[in-house]
Amino acid sequence: MQRVITSAPSKVILFGEHAVVYGEPAIAVAINLRTTVMMERAREYSVNGEPLDDRYHRYIKKAIELLWDGEPLRITTASAVPSASGMGSSASITVATVSALLAMMGREEERNVALNSFRVEYETQGRASPIDTSTVTHGKGILVANRKMDNFLWEVERGGTRWYIHHLEVPPLKLVVGFSGIKGHTPEMVEKVRRFYTWNAFARDVIREIGRITLEAIEPLENEDYERIGELMNRNNKLLTILGVSHPKLKEMIDASLRYSYGAKITGAGGGGCMIALTDEQDEVAKAIEEVGGKAYKVSIAQRGYEIMSRE
């Protein structure tokens, strides 16, 4: 195979960010902002016409190091996902790249894409959970738990922690993502929570409570009980604020959106990045977010995960 084109969605975490790193459950959904990768054999490595670079192309470079021993590749990327936003931009580019590399080798089965994409993200970031890469790989909804449950897909183990990945039926949620314009730094936020978790018993209680809220959310998601989902989102957000991963701009956008929403919360690592609101009034929520200086994205659930769009 000489050329392949792939795409992968982005994601938002509905419940359980940060807690999932410690083996607690989390729920995420894929959303319809996608990244596309075109990969073709070449005389030297390049990404969008520039030499492959450790700083600017670190996920792509790590994927090549771990998976590819063939001739150099010319890679072209395009993405609708803002970077460092909490919408899984790194997972989206990673899954699109990994699926392209595996497609070049005829090994692009879903589980293989998911496990290798997590390996790339983990080794690049130094610490991560598989929720982002699994959601982007599978599409739709994902439940990550510490035991095998119904609709099991695959399991991942790293550093003594084992995660069980499940398909989760989710309704056609109407979500608005508000981007603060402040780029979050996932490894920094994960390390901040790790220090709090290690030295403070209260922080460990907060992490466990986030896990309990996540499990409580499964039934209302399956039953399309939007009021209950929103209530649990608000509770989850208060706990994330206690962990220290909020930001004044995120709080401002959340407060503005709650007038028209069932619930709203930080999504992703925090410290900037994005919040999400569950609403029947996407236009009103988007307007409220932009009035306080955020950028609003009206999004829908992506039914497709990674996709091999073309191969030659």
CATH code of the domain in which 266 resides = 3.30.70.890
Per residue in 273-286, pLDDT (tens digit) is 899 999 999 999 99
Q: How far apart are CA 290 and CA 136, in angstroms?
A: 27
The pLDDT assigned to 136 comes to 97
Average pLDDT over residues 26-32: 96
Count of CB atoms situated within 10 Å of the CB of 250 = 30
53, 54, 132, 150: the catalytic one is 132
**Contact call for residues 88 and 268 (beta carbons, < 8 A):** yes
Q: Please state, for a pLDDT cut of 70, what percent of the chain lies above it.
A: 99
Local confidence band at 21 (pLDDT 50, 70, 90 cut-offs): confident
Local confidence band at 1 (pLDDT 50, 70, 90 cut-offs): low
- 94 and 153 together in one domain: yes
- 159 and 249 together in one domain: no
Decide if 132 is catalytic.
yes
Domain around 247: 175-299
Local confidence band at 70 (pLDDT 50, 70, 90 cut-offs): confident
Per residue in 291-305, pLDDT (tens digit) is 999 999 999 999 999
- Is a pLDDT exceeding 80 seen at residue 16? yes
- Is a pLDDT exceeding 90 seen at residue 176? yes
- 218 and 131 together in one domain: no
Local confidence band at 262 (pLDDT 50, 70, 90 cut-offs): very high
| Residue-wise burial string across 13-25, b where 16 or more C-beta atoms lie within 10 A, e elsewhere | bbbbbbbbbbbbb
Local confidence band at 184 (pLDDT 50, 70, 90 cut-offs): confident
Q: How far apart are CA 138 and CA 208, in angstroms?
A: 26
How many domains does the chain fold into? 2
- 86 and 112 together in one domain: yes
- 15 and 135 together in one domain: yes
Q: How far apart are the first and last CA of the chain?
A: 6
- 145 and 226 together in one domain: no
- 125 and 210 together in one domain: no
Q: What is the CATH number of the domain that holds 11?
A: 3.30.230.10
- 161 and 249 together in one domain: no
* Closest C-alpha among 235, 243, 240 to residue 262: 235
Mean pLDDT of the chain: 93
- 287 and 211 together in one domain: yes
- 214 and 246 together in one domain: yes
- 161 and 20 together in one domain: yes
- 146 and 73 together in one domain: yes
Local confidence band at 253 (pLDDT 50, 70, 90 cut-offs): very high
Per residue in 75-84, pLDDT (tens digit) is 999 999 877 6
